[in-house]
């Protein structure tokens, strides 16, 4: 199973958020956000921040770093290595299965991801045999959007998307393309954008907190 860091539930463990980092980061990168969100103790939320495997990344000169998949080109259609996405999605599914084995119902599990992590989240959640509480996809895009219609098992999902309108790494147009694809499939999806680059801002965290509380209450 993927290694991870966690932020334990306050009181009884009732819900889980599995949060995937972006390229070159680690689970530790988003760990400080867990206490900052100040979720109500009664929700009993445990955060799991897994570390992506270390592998060479083509666009970074083959440098080995934590990555959910290889990026061979910045071209929109081939940016995400589909085989790598599917392999990482299987690893993340093991984390979801582990939470369910602990007694956490799927409808109390949220899959979240930033950038590359968001790609994995948007790929995996619709293809799971169980319906999750929701998906949080930040500053991200989709892998193989044309295959969603034929591969999706879950036709109903609550999806929160947010993006920086000054993002030079993942242009907001790619995020909007993912949003449009998911909306056309009938998912319950919301969109927020902020005057920021490839990052997370305070206003966005406020919106995330509100959505998490509503989704897990």
For the annotated catalytic residues, the residue numbers are 115, 167, 198
- Rounded Cα–Cα distance for residues 31 and 79 (Å): 27
Q: What is the DSSP string of 94-160?
A: HHHHHHHHTT--GGGEEEEEETHHHHHHHHHGGGSSS--SEEEEES---SSGGGHHHH-S-S--EEE
Q: Which of 103, 169, 150, 159 is nearest to 131 (CA)?
A: 159
Burial profile 133-150: b = 16 or more Cβ within 10 angstroms, e = fewer: bbbbbbbbbbbebeebee
CA distance to 56, 57, 102, 163, 191, per residue, from 138 (Å) = 24, 21, 27, 6, 10
């Amino acid at each position: 199973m993927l290694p991870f860091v966690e932020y334990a539930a306050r009181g009884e463990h009732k819900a889980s958020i599995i949060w995937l980092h972006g390229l070159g980061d680690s689970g530790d990168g988003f760990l400080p956000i867990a206490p900052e969100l100040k979720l109500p103790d009664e929700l009993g939320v445990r955060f799991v921040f897994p570390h992506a495997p270390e592998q060479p990344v083509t666009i970074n000169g083959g440098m080995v770093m934590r990555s959910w998949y290889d990026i061979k080109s910045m071209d929109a259609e081939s940016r995400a290595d589909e085989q790598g996405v599917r392999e990482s999605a299987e690893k993340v599914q093991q984390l979801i299965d582990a939470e369910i084995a602990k007694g956490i119902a799927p409808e109390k599990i949220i899959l979240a991801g930033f950038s590359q992590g968001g790609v994995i989240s948007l790929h995996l959640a619709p293809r799971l045999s169980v319906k999750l509480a929701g998906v949080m996809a930040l500053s991200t895009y989709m892998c193989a959007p044309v295959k969603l219609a034929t591969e999706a098992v879950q036709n109903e999902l609550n999806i929160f998307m947010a993006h920086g309108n000054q993002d030079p790494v993942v242009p907001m147009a790619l995020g909007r393309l993912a949003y449009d694809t998911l909306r056309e499939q009938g998912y319950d999806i919301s969109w927020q954008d902020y005057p920021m680059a490839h990052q997370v801002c305070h206003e966005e965290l406020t919106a995330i907190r509100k959505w998490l509380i509503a989704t897990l209450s």
